[in-house]
Amino acid sequence: MSSWNGISIPGSSGVSTLDNEDEIDALCWALARHDYLYIPAEKSAGLLGRRDENFADDWKAFTESWSRLQEDNYMADGGRYRARRHATYSAPAADVSWKREEHQPHYQSPHHNTLNGGIARHYSPVEPDVAEGGIVGGLLTLGCGLFGRLAPFAAWHIEAHQFRISPAEDREGKPTPEGIHRDGVQYVMMMLIERRNVTGGLSTLYDPELRPIKQITLSEPLEMIVVNDERVMHDVSPLIAAFHGEPAYRDVFVLTFR
């Protein structure tokens, strides 16, 4: 037996492939009933193919790419604490055969992003080896497998976001500067890549009446939160550097499915 959201779920064997129908069905079962999932690092690694002989090399290349993100120049609050890259994918209905699309801007309406919404934001693309590498491919396949079951007649527009939030000695870093929000999609997958020398970063999930339903501080690489964005809002508390004079950052990878 395994559990998500504190619920015991049968049929969870830890097999790291979408061929395990019981594993994916168990995740869908929990997400459909609670509108969010917390997936611990060990479980996430299994779902992404931890036992594959290339997993360690893929993960190393994936995480090292965060050191090459570009500063986000669209911050309406004037903040210089966020760096990012962006990529777009698509997937047909009820199918895990995703493909990468031509690079395009990211757009959110002002309704969903009151700080930076309402304009097309042109970010640097995710590097090709990362965008089509094993880790991103595993996450895309996992997302298509989950959400394709929950919405079997929907084709997907998928966006990938690499984020690094870096607080400085004299200022905090804000993972969600827009505050409590929805992303304006159907599903969101958020995975921690690394935390270094920071405090804060508490993720809070809210129901449609803005009542907190879950609080999680992602602290271990590969930990993941999945939410039904139509039913759950979220925010993340500001980051503060724990020790001055040392690098401080929180790296996250986000996939949105619309």
The predicted model gives 51-74 an average pLDDT of 94
Residue 30 lies in a domain: no
Alpha-carbon span 254 to 258, nearest angstrom: 13
Residue 19 lies in a domain: no
pTM: 0.90
Element (H, E) at 22: helix 21-34
CATH code at position 208: 2.60.120.620
3-state secondary structure of 253: strand
Residue 11 lies in a domain: no
**pLDDT grade for 12, boundaries at 50, 70 and 90:** very low
Residue 172 lies in a domain: yes
Q: How many domains does the chain have?
A: 1
Residue 12 lies in a domain: no
Domain with 145 in it: 35-257
Q: What is the DSSP letter of 101?
A: P
Alpha-carbon span 227 to 17, nearest angstrom: 21
Given a contact cutoff of 8 angstroms between Cβ atoms, the answer to whether 224 and 189 are in contact is yes
The predicted model gives 15-30 an average pLDDT of 74
Residue 7 lies in a domain: no
The share of the chain scoring above pLDDT 90, in percent, equals 79
Within 130-231, strands assigned E span 156-165, 187-196, 198-200, 202-206, 212-217, 224-228
The predicted model gives 239-246 an average pLDDT of 94
The predicted model gives 65-91 an average pLDDT of 94
Cα-based angle 202, 207, 213 (whole degrees, multiple of 5): 45
Residue 162 β-bridge partners: 85, 253
Other Cβ atoms less than 10 A from the Cβ of 19: the count is: 9
Please list, in sequence order, all residues whose beta carbon lies within 8 angstroms of the beta carbon of residue 77, skipping any fewer than 6 positions away.
115, 174, 177
What do you get for the CA distance between the two ends of the chain, in Å? 32
pLDDT at 2: 40
**Could you tell me the two tokens for 47?**
């779902």
Residue 145 lies in a domain: yes
**Considering the chain, what is the average pLDDT of its residues?**
90
The predicted model gives 112-117 an average pLDDT of 72
pLDDT in tens, 209-238: 999 999 999 999 999 999 999 999 999 999
Residue 14 lies in a domain: no
pLDDT at 105: 93
3-state secondary structure of 41: helix
3-state secondary structure of 207: coil
pLDDT at 145: 95
